[in-house]
């Protein structure tokens, strides 16, 4: 028996060695240098498993990345803010994050650079991929009625607080009286149904689920309220990679721009690809309101958003968009 | 035989009863079935998934991360535990540091893991190894300290060398502790593997739970949670078996075996 246990220990020691070897291999995505003849560049991208990143998967399927010698490996993180450290440290080559998270990171001294647009609001009141929902039987009729109310946001002190405040402000209310609580998107329906919150800002697919189940109704379209054709999120890389391998970054940006344009022109292709990388069913995918995917970042919208974030105290000073944006 | 069958039968009955309760609670409207689907729906989704590849590759990835993390932690803890435990000076010098580091919850390292590694398997491994390491180290330290003084004196009298003392004196004494540590570490490592996959990243069941919940697929989310539970049961059974095998000679185990 002792011999068996010794064997067990030795095999675990071997596993340790194997584990180290495995890690070493996984780190090898840094072959962004001169290794051109060795085949396509292996590029790792950190994403969130949501509707917004559909163009990247479509572009991968359509061969827009392969045509530029890029082979994508995707990793899912719990949120865009989680991806920023991974990109900064070089574990990931690119990431996807909302623009306020990027501005907050910049303010925190993290050197990152946006390389491509992510996704935008539809720009249309009454029909967007996110909205401020209240319980069906609520007295709230418009955003101004939310003065002093408790509003559920997926992440505290981030973009959703800024845009919800914009809705309240635009409607003539005092945005500083709104109280926010952190509730993950998947739990917002239960929070609204249970009366835990007065309102919740939900994006697709939860916006549609909450309305279909007659738990809540939309009273404001905050992405639209914050700025015309708001750029919600962007793809970014580390300042280091942008400086050391401008060629790779340029090819990634081009492939992304083509993917975004393709997604914008082919909403049916977007709805078809959603069930492949998310658990959104085909029926639900057919009903969702999609964001828009213009190929260019709407910089004016980021300036407007940043101005409100400064006004609300989320940012202490306006971001340096010349450094942050391409 | 009759004696050992009854607890098994009761155990199965308990499980079925619990499943029936979870079936009834949403059906009777105590809890909204959109938030807690009845057991039958969860099981049917699970059966559907069991026929597909992604579930099994997620299980495989979780087991891989778990096994790598556990192996790293156990190997480091056994070596360090025997060395520290055998040298009085080292024991005194490290005791306060160990007592300081050990109670830090592994999940508190999640932000650090994200900064160091990003949302990849290595980040998850960091918290898995951290949690499992202390479980094992403390047991090995206790085990090494438990060497019978008479046996130790005898070993010295017979002029056993350092290596022979570790092999014939320390090791058999520490083994029961180490095996207990292994079982505890295995359970903790599995918990942290799924936690890491959920909050840090890397492929596996945690990542699938995140994806299912981000897609609004509630029954699938529960089905995946069920799979993590089954994995935990399997891990516990496996290490109980290892315990029995490794300690077949030990009075505590021998006593358990029905004559």
Per residue in A202-256, pLDDT (tens digit) is 999 999 999 999 999 999 999 999 999 999 999 999 999 999 999 999 999 999 9
CB contact under 8 A, A78 and B67: no
Whether B256 has its CB under 8 Å from any CB of chain A: the answer is no
pLDDT score, position B53? 78
pLDDT score, position B51? 82
pLDDT score, position B258? 52
pLDDT of A86 over the 90 cut: no
The residue in chain B having the minimum alpha-carbon distance to the alpha carbon of residue A4 is B246
Task: Tell me which residues of chain B, numbers 217 to 236, contact chain A at a CB-CB cutoff of 8 Å.
Answer: 217, 220-221
Q: Which of A1, A86, A87 lies nearest to residue B249, judging by beta carbons?
A: A1
Q: Which of B35, B199, B201 lies nearest to residue A75, judging by beta carbons?
A: B201
pLDDT: which is higher, A266 or B251: A266
Chain A residues close to B199, C-beta within 8 Å: 78, 82
The pLDDT profile of chain B, 259 residues, written as one tens digit per residue, is: 445 556 778 888 888 898 899 898 888 888 888 888 999 989 998 998 888 778 999 999 999 999 999 999 999 999 999 899 888 899 999 999 999 999 999 999 988 888 788 788 888 999 999 999 999 999 999 999 888 889 888 988 998 888 888 888 888 888 999 999 999 999 999 999 999 999 888 889 998 998 888 888 889 999 999 999 999 999 988 988 888 888 877 777 666 555 4
The CA distance from A171 to A168, in Å, is 5
Whether A21 has its CB under 8 Å from any CB of chain B: the answer is no
Task: Tell me which residues of chain B, numbers 160 to 179, contact chain A at a CB-CB cutoff of 8 Å.
Answer: 175
For residues A22-50, give the mean pLDDT. Answer: 62
Residue to substitute from B67, B120, B246, B248, interface A, most A β-carbons within 10 A: B120
pLDDT score, position B128? 96
Report the range of poorest mean pLDDT among A2-6, A14-18, A104-108, B51-55. A14-18
- The distance of B8 to chain A (nearest Cα, Å) reads 28
- The distance of A184 to chain B (nearest Cα, Å) reads 9
Q: How confident is the model at residue A34 (pLDDT cuts 50, 70, 90)?
A: very low
Structural domains of chain B, ranges and CATH numbers in brackets: 40-254 (1.10.3720.10)
Q: Which of B71, B115, B216 lies nearest to residue A12, judging by beta carbons?
A: B71
CATH for A42-121+229-324 is: 3.40.190.10
Q: If 0-12 CB within 10 Å is exposed, 13-18 middle and 19+ buried, where does residue B31 land?
A: middle
pLDDT of A322 over the 70 cut: yes
- The distance of A78 to chain B (nearest Cα, Å) reads 6
Residue to substitute from B33, B65, B114, interface A, most A β-carbons within 10 A: B114
pLDDT score, position A26? 35
Whether B128 has its CB under 8 Å from any CB of chain A: the answer is no
CATH architecture of A130-226: 3-Layer(aba) Sandwich (3.40)
pLDDT of A171 over the 80 cut: yes
The residue in chain B having the minimum alpha-carbon distance to the alpha carbon of residue A9 is B75
- The distance of B170 to chain A (nearest Cα, Å) reads 14
The CA distance from B257 to B259, in Å, is 6
Residue to substitute from B26, B129, B201, B205, interface A, most A β-carbons within 10 A: B201
- The distance of A235 to chain B (nearest Cα, Å) reads 16
Nearest to A89 by CA among A241, A309, A266, A223: A241
pLDDT score, position B162? 83
Tokens of B62: 């979780």
Whether B249 has its CB under 8 Å from any CB of chain A: the answer is yes
The CA distance from B147 to B136, in Å, is 18
pLDDT score, position A83? 86
Q: Which of B68, B120, B213 lies nearest to residue A91, judging by beta carbons?
A: B120
Tokens of A54: 């559909």
The CA distance from A100 to B207, in Å, is 25
Whether B186 has its CB under 8 Å from any CB of chain A: the answer is no
pLDDT score, position A15? 41
The CA distance from A3 to B165, in Å, is 17
The residue in chain A having the minimum alpha-carbon distance to the alpha carbon of residue B202 is A75
List every span in chain A annotated with CATH 3.40.190.10: 42-121+229-324, 130-226
Q: What ipTM, to 2 d.p.?
A: 0.70
pLDDT of A28 over the 70 cut: no
The residue in chain A having the minimum alpha-carbon distance to the alpha carbon of residue B217 is A279
Which residues contact residue A108 at a Cβ distance below 8 angstroms, ignoring those fewer than 6 apart?
A: none
Q: If 0-12 CB within 10 Å is exposed, 13-18 middle and 19+ buried, where does residue A42 land?
A: middle
pLDDT of A33 over the 80 cut: no
pLDDT score, position A17? 40
3-class SS letters over chain A: CHHHHHHHHHHHHHHHHHHHHHHHHHHHHHCCCCCHHHCCEEEEEEECCCHHHHHHHHHHHHCCCHHHCEEEEEEECCCHHHHHHHHHCCCCCEEEEEHHHHHHHHHCCCCEEEEEEEEECCCCCCCCCEEEEEECCCCCCCHHHHCCCEEEECCCCCHHHHHHHHHHHHCCCCHHHCEEEECCHHHHHHHHHCCCCCEEEEECCHHHHHHHCCCEEEEECHHHHHCCCCEEEEEEEEHHHHHHCHHHHHHHHHHHHHHHHHHHHCHHHHHHHHHHHCCCCHHHHHHCCCCECCCCCCHHHHHHHHHHHHHHCCCCCCCCHHHHCC
Whether A80 has its CB under 8 Å from any CB of chain B: the answer is no
**Residue-wise pLDDT tens digits, A115-157:** 999 999 999 999 999 999 999 999 999 999 999 999 999 988 8
Chain B residues close to A111, C-beta within 8 Å: none
Query: How many residue contacts between A and B have a Cβ separation below 8 Å?
Result: 127
């Amino acid at each position: 028996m002792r011999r068996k246990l010794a064997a067990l220990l030795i095999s675990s020691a071997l596993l340790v060695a194997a584990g180290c070897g495995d890690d070493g291999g996984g780190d090898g995505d840094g072959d962004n240098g001169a290794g051109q003849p060795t085949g396509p560049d292996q590029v790792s991208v950190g994403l969130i498993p949501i509707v917004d990143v559909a163009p990247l998967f479509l572009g991968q399927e359509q061969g827009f990345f392969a045509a530029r010698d890029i082979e994508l490996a995707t990793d899912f993180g719990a949120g865009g803010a989680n991806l920023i450290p991974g990109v900064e440290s070089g574990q990931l080559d690119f990431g996807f994050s909302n623009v306020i998270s990027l501005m907050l990171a910049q303010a925190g001294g993290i050197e990152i650079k946006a390389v491509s647009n992510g996704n935008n609001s539809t720009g249309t009141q009454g029909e967007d991929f996110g909205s401020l929902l209240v319980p069906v039987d609520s007295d709230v009729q418009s955003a101004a009625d939310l003065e002093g109310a408790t509003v559920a946001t997926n992440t505290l002190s981030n973009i959703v607080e800024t845009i919800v405040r914009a809705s309240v402000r635009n409607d003539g209310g005092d945005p500083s009286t709104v109280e926010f609580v952190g509730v993950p998107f998947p739990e917002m329906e239960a929070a609204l149904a249970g009366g835990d919150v007065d309102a919740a800002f939900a994006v697709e697919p939860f916006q549609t689920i909450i309305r279909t189940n007659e738990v809540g109704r939309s009273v404001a379209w905050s992405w639209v309220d914050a700025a015309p054709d708001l750029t919600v999120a962007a793809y970014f890389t580390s300042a280091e990679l942008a400086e050391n391998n401008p060629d790779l970054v340029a090819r990634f940006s081009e492939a992304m721009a083509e993917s975004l344009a393709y997604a914008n022109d082919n909403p049916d292709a977007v709805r078809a690809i959603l069930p492949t990388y998310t658990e959104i069913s085909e029926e639900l995918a057919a009903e969702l309101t999609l964001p828009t995917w213009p190929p260019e970042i709407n910089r004016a919208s980021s300036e407007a958003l940043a101005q409100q974030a400064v006004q609300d105290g989320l940012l202490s000073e306006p971001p340096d968009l010349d450094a942050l944006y391409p | 035989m009759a004696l050992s069958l009854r607890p098994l039968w009761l155990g199965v009955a308990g499980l079925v009863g619990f499943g029936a309760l979870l079936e009834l609670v949403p059906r009777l409207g105590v809890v909204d079935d959109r938030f807690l689907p009845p057991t039958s729906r969860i099981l049917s989704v699970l059966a559907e998934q069991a026929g597909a590849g992604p579930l099994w590759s997620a299980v495989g990835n979780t087991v891989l991360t778990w096994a790598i993390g556990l192996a790293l932690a156990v190997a480091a803890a056994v070596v360090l535990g025997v060395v520290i435990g055998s040298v009085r000076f080292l024991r005194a010098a490290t005791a306060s540091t160990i007592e300081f580091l050990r109670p830090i919850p592994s999940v508190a390292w999640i932000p650090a893991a994200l900064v160091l590694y990003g949302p990849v398997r290595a980040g998850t491994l960091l918290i898995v190894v951290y949690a499992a390491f202390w479980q094992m180290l403390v047991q090995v330290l206790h085990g090494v300290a438990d060497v019978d003084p008479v046996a130790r004196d005898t070993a010295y009298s017979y002029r056993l060398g350092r290596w022979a003392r570790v092999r014939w004196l320390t090791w058999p004494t520490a083994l029961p502790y180490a095996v207990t540590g292994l079982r505890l570490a295995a359970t903790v490592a599995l918990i942290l593997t799924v936690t890491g996959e959920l909050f840090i990243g890397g492929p596996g069941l945690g990542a699938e739970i995140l994806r299912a919940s981000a897609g609004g697929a509630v029954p699938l989310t529960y089905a995946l949670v069920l799979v993590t539970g089954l994995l935990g049961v399997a891990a516990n059974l496996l290490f109980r078996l290892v315990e029995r095998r490794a300690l077949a000679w030990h009075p505590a185990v021998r006593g358990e075996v029905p004559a």
